[in-house]
């Protein structure tokens, strides 16, 4: 645990120092929300649950829970997911 924490801290400091985007160095998801209509998640790890009112997306640190109405996946690519519909809430959840 300590070693993991240390490497994480080091990486964050590196990215801050070099002004590199965090999603590349730290392997974090990049979430772009366009109004309440469209959500783009880059750097995901797959879909955990899919239904028309909730989508759970696996990310490096737990999961991203999107709730709404008439949700649909506009496209699913290995690195990118586009969600469309009436998005009501986004939450981070998971085991951590």
Partner 1 sequence: MFVLRLLNYLTGCVTLLVHTDTPEKFINLAAGRGIFIWDVRMPAEDRVLLKIRLSAVRPFKHIARKTGCRFEIYDREGLPFLLARLSRRKALTAGGVFFLLALYFLSSFVWFIEVSGNRRVADSDIIKAAARAGLERGTPRWLVNVGAIEKSIQEQLPALSWVGLYIKGTRADIKVVEKTLAEEKQAGPSHVVAAKAGLVEDVLVLKGHPAVKEGDTVVPGQVLISGIVPPPETAAPPKEGEQGQQREQKEARPAGEPVYVAARGIVRARVWYEEYGEAELVEKGRRYTGRVVTRLCMKIGDREIILKGPAKIPFALYTEEGFPKKIPAWRNLTPDVELITLKYRELQDYILTRSKEQACRLAKEKALARAKQRVPKSAIILRERVEELVVNQPENVVRVRAYLETLEDIGVNKPFSIK
Binding site for partner 1 (CB under 8 A): 46-52, 56, 72-78
β pairing state of 54-59 and 38-42: unpaired
Please say whether the beta carbons of 33 and 39 come within 8 A. Answer: yes
Element (H, E) at 2: helix 2-18
Nearer to partner 1, 31 or 55 (CB): 55
| Interatomic CA distance for residues 91 and 76, integer angstroms | 20
Nearer to partner 1, 8 or 72 (CB): 72
- Minimum separation from the CB atom of position 92 to partner 1 (A): 18
- Minimum separation from the CB atom of position 23 to partner 1 (A): 19
Nearer to partner 1, 31 or 63 (CB): 63
Nearer to partner 1, 31 or 83 (CB): 83
Please say whether the beta carbons of 61 and 94 come within 8 A. Answer: yes
- Minimum separation from the CB atom of position 41 to partner 1 (A): 12
- Minimum separation from the CB atom of position 81 to partner 1 (A): 8
Report the 10 Å Cβ neighbour count for 74. 12
């Amino acid at each position: 645990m300590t070693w993991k924490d240390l490497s994480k801290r080091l990486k964050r400091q590196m990215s801050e120092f070099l002004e590199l985007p965090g999603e590349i160095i730290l392997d974090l998801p990049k979430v772009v929300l366009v109004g309440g209509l469209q959500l783009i998640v880059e750097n995901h790890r797959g879909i955990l649950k899919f239904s028309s009112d909730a989508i759970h997306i696996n990310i490096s640190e737990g999961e991203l829970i999107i709730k709404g109405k008439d949700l649909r996946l506009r496209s699913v690519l290995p690195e990118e997911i586009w969600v469309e519909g009436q998005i009501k809430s986004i939450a981070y959840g998971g085991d951590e």
